[in-house]
């Protein structure tokens, strides 16, 4: 019997590894390309009408990220069956996602301005002191908060801001210990609690008329339904405890989208310059986003750069909190006519919430 030399054994091992890599590459590329060829047309045709498709629609921008690895490797290995479809997908990605990263220039204000901050403070957040301190530093004129716990209000966690914001108002549910809260340095002249369908999903919206230098501006504080099945249970019971899988099986945008459409019908009659701020529980990749964008202007899209993700953060200052970044933009500031954004952005991490705050500075048109 002739034994293989160490050199021959090494070559055999290299050939085996190369063959294994090429096989895995071909399989993974084939699966990815097939999924994208099926998914993209289905998204255009069906939109969010099918729950599983609607779930993946939230993250469509991330569906193109494998191209960063697949396309260069396909070019190096000259796999034309990989290169041609991935080049087409790359062109689609540039057209689709590229404008998010294009630099935008906002002209400086030449008249009076109004700075608005919105933030979901997070129901489990035990202490709002970090949020309150940042709000005071931000020098905002109007602050709209969601999921403020009634305990936080009773213990005066927001009252220390009364010198800066003498006009404050909260709306809370009778059956759950949280609600929406607004702080304003300008007088609140009118308060309307909007009668939007609640259903089994908790949501609330308010309209405020704020007088800014003898000019009234309507500010809406909104928090639409979390997209989950009415009973909160997954459609299919499986013995897998992975959060992403369970979230997909429980995903249901019907109530949220119904509330948003009802709100859009309501706001059509708005006669004042208006701002809509809050937690929409909706990625800007969903189909319902385009319905909103037809009626209102997305302030971050006008002046922000990047995806502008605001959720989900890992609260705290631990290792996971520093390692992870938010994935989706679900917190928004929209506006109508009579207002022009001159500065937009996000607040810092480490405020104890799983959401990032969002701010916008508007120039008010002279009436």
- Rounded Cα distance between 275 and 186, Å, is 15
At 91-150, the pLDDT tens digits run 999 999 999 999 899 999 998 999 999 999 987 777 788 888 898 899 999 999 999 887
- 113-364: in CATH 3.60.10.10: yes
Which pLDDT band holds residue 164 (cuts at 50, 70, 90)?
A: confident
Domain boundaries, the chain: 6-101, 113-364
Is residue 118 within 8 Å of residue 331, measured between CB atoms? yes
Average pLDDT over residues 8-25: 76
Is residue 345 within 8 Å of residue 93, measured between CB atoms? no
At 258-310, the pLDDT tens digits run 999 999 999 999 999 999 999 999 999 999 999 999 999 999 999 999 999 99
Amino acid 366: pLDDT:
67
* Residue 31 CB contacts under 8 Å (≥ 6 apart), including other chains: none
- Rounded Cα distance between 162 and 153, Å, is 12
At 22-69, the pLDDT tens digits run 889 999 999 999 999 999 999 999 988 899 899 999 999 999 999 999
At 191-243, the pLDDT tens digits run 998 877 776 556 679 999 999 989 999 999 999 999 998 888 888 888 777 77
| Angle, alpha carbons 36-40-42 (nearest 5°) | 120
Question: Does residue 359 have a cis peptide bond before it, meaning omega lies within 30 degrees of 0?
Answer: no
Q: Name the one residue in this structure whose structure tokens are 């489990």.
A: 124
Quote the percentage of the chain above a pLDDT of 70: 89
Q: Tell me the two tokens of residue 190.
A: 């009118």
Total-model pTM: 0.91
Q: Which residues of 284-316 are buried (b: 16+ CB within 10 A; e: fewer)?
A: bbbbbbeebeeebbbbbbebbeebbbbbebbbe
Q: Tell me the two tokens of residue 47.
A: 């939109």
- Rounded Cα distance between 31 and 20, Å, is 17
Count of positions (residues) in the chain: 367
In degrees and rounded to multiples of 5, residue 346 shows phi and psi of -120, 150
């Amino acid at each position: 019997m002739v034994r293989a030399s160490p050199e021959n054994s090494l070559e055999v091992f290299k050939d085996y590894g190369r063959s294994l890599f090429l096989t895995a590459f071909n399989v993974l590329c084939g699966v990815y390309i097939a999924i994208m060829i099926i998914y993209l047309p289905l998204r255009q045709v069906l939109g969010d009408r099918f729950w599983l498709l609607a779930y993946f629609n939230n993250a469509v921008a991330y569906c193109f990220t494998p191209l960063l690895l697949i396309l260069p490797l396909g070019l190096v290995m000259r796999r034309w069956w990989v290169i041609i479809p991935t080049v087409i997908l790359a062109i689609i990605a540039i057209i689709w996602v590229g404008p998010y990263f294009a630099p935008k220039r906002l002209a400086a204000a030449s008249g009076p301005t109004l700075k608005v901050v919105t933030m979901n403070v997070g129901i489990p957040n035990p202490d709002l002191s970090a949020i309150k301190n940042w709000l005071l530093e931000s020098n905002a004129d109007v602050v709209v908060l969601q999921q403020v716990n009634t305990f936080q209000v009773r213990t005066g966690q927001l009252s220390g801001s009364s010198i800066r914001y003498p006009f404050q108002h909260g709306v809370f549910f009778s059956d759950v210990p949280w609600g929406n809260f607004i702080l304003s340095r300008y007088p609140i002249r009118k308060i309307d609690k909007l009668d939007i369908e609640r259903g089994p999903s908790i949501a609330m919206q308010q309209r405020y008329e704020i007088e800014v230098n003898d000019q009234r501006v309507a500010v809406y504080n909104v928090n639409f339904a979390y997209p989950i099945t009415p009973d909160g249970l997954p459609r299919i019971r499986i013995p897998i405890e992975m959060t992403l899988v369970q979230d997909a099986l429980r995903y249901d945008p019907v109530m949220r989208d119904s509330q948003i459409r009802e709100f859009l019908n309501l706001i059509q009659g708005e006669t004042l310059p208006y701002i809509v701020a809050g937690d929409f529980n909706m990625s800007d990749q969903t189909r319902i986003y385009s319905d909103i964008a037809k009626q209102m202007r997305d302030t971050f899209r006008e002046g922000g750069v990047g995806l502008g993700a605001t959720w989900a953060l890992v609260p705290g200052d631990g290792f996971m909190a520093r390692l992870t970044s938010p994935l989706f933009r679900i917190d928004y500031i929209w506006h109508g006519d009579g207002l022009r954004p001159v500065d937009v952005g996000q607040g810092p991490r480490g405020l104890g919430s799983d959401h990032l705050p969002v701010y916008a500075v508007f120039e008010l048109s002279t009436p």
